[in-house]
């Protein structure tokens, strides 16, 4: 029997709230609080499988927050879909290669079937705790794969097909995010779009590509500009 989720309105992000209460910092504070709480709870679990399941829920949520992925997209990630890279100038990146899954019916007609979402690794960034939490699970997974190869349980040629989150479901992600982080997973996707457009000033076409939207009309639903946001951008403009 699964957990029963009692829905509350403030767990969900509507357009008129997106730019106000549900801004990026509000989201990150809630995520940090929920993730810290559940990481502390890991010590209460006796079975390794239970600990792994809890940690995977936490880490998958981090991936959704970092990439704006749909839940189904995040849960489909394999080991080969994550790249740690470094530029010639020393800038470090983590890139997630995500399938663009809206629905089975529409998937064949997607304009962008694959999304590559890079994130700069910067310890001073307010997003770093998400990358740090992901790295925790990545280290555990790599060690287990190495042990599996040594014990002839995994063939080396198959390691890149190992799923990142084998023990969790879409429902468990919703349970974790709504109960402990007080937000619907799709709200993470909305605020990701809001952050890129309003705070980072990325071109709309770039944001469309990162989110995997077929048209800009769909993206418009995700963006909510407040008067304060417009003023903020106008302040950066040079006077004639």
Q: How many domains are there within the chain?
A: 1
Per-residue model confidence as pLDDT tens digits over 163-196: 899 888 999 999 999 888 888 888 888 878 878 8
The answer as to whether 165 is a domain residue is: yes
The answer as to whether 94 is a domain residue is: yes
The pLDDT, as a whole number, for residue 226 is 52
Structure tokens at 224: 């909510």
Whether the predicted pLDDT of 117 surpasses 70: yes
Mean pLDDT of 62-79: 92
The pLDDT, as a whole number, for residue 18 is 45
The answer as to whether 219 is a domain residue is: no
Give long-range contacts, CB 8 A cutoff, 24+ apart: 194-197. 194/18, 194/19, 194/23, 194/24, 194/222, 194/223, 194/224, 195/24, 196/68, 197/223
Whether the predicted pLDDT of 220 surpasses 60: yes
The answer as to whether 143 is a domain residue is: yes
Distance of CA 143 to the CA centre of its chain: 23
How far apart are alpha carbons 234 and 137 in whole angstroms? 42
Per-residue model confidence as pLDDT tens digits over 127-172: 899 999 999 999 988 888 887 777 777 776 667 788 899 888 999 9
Contacts of 69 (CB under 8 A, 6+ apart): 63, 96, 98, 115, 117, 189
112 — pLDDT class (breaks 50, 70, 90): low
Whether the predicted pLDDT of 103 surpasses 80: no
The pLDDT, as a whole number, for residue 5 is 44
Tell me the residue ranges of DSSP E strands in 62-185. Answer: 82-86, 92-99, 114-120
Structure tokens at 16: 């008129």
Place of tokens 């709200």: 187
The answer as to whether 154 is a domain residue is: yes
The answer as to whether 161 is a domain residue is: yes
The answer as to whether 70 is a domain residue is: yes
**Arithmetic mean of pLDDT over the chain:** 78
The parent domain of residue 182 ranges over 23-186
How far apart are alpha carbons 37 and 30 in whole angstroms? 11
How far apart are alpha carbons 19 and 21 in whole angstroms? 7
The answer as to whether 210 is a domain residue is: no
Beta bridge partners of 86: 92
């Amino acid at each position: 029997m699964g957990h029963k989720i009692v829905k509350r309105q403030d767990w969900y992000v509507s357009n008129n709230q997106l730019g106000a209460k549900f801004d990026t910092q509000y989201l990150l504070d809630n995520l940090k609080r929920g993730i810290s709480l559940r990481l502390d709870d890991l010590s209460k679990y006796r079975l390794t499988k239970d600990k792994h399941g809890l940690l995977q829920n936490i880490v998958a949520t981090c991936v959704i927050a970092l990439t704006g992925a749909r839940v189904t997209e995040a849960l489909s990630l394999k080991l080969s879909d994550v790249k740690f890279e470094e530029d010639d100038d020393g800038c470090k990146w983590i890139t997630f290669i995500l399938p663009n899954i809206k629905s089975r019916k529409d998937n064949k007609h997607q304009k962008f079937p694959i999304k590559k979402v890079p994130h700069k690794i910067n310890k001073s960034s307010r997003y770093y705790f998400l990358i740090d939490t992901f790295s925790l699970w990545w280290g555990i997974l790599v060690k287990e794969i190495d042990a599996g190869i040594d014990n002839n349980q995994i063939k080396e040629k198959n390691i890149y097909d190992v799923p990142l989150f084998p023990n969790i479901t879409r429902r468990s992600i919703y349970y974790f995010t709504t109960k402990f982080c007080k937000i619907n997973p799709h709200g993470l996707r909305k605020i990701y779009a809001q952050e890129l457009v309003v705070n980072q000033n990325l071109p709309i076409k770039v944001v469309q590509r990162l989110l995997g939207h077929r048209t800009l009309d769909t993206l418009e639903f995700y963006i909510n500009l407040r008067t304060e946001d417009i003023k903020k951008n106008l302040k950066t403009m040079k006077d004639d």
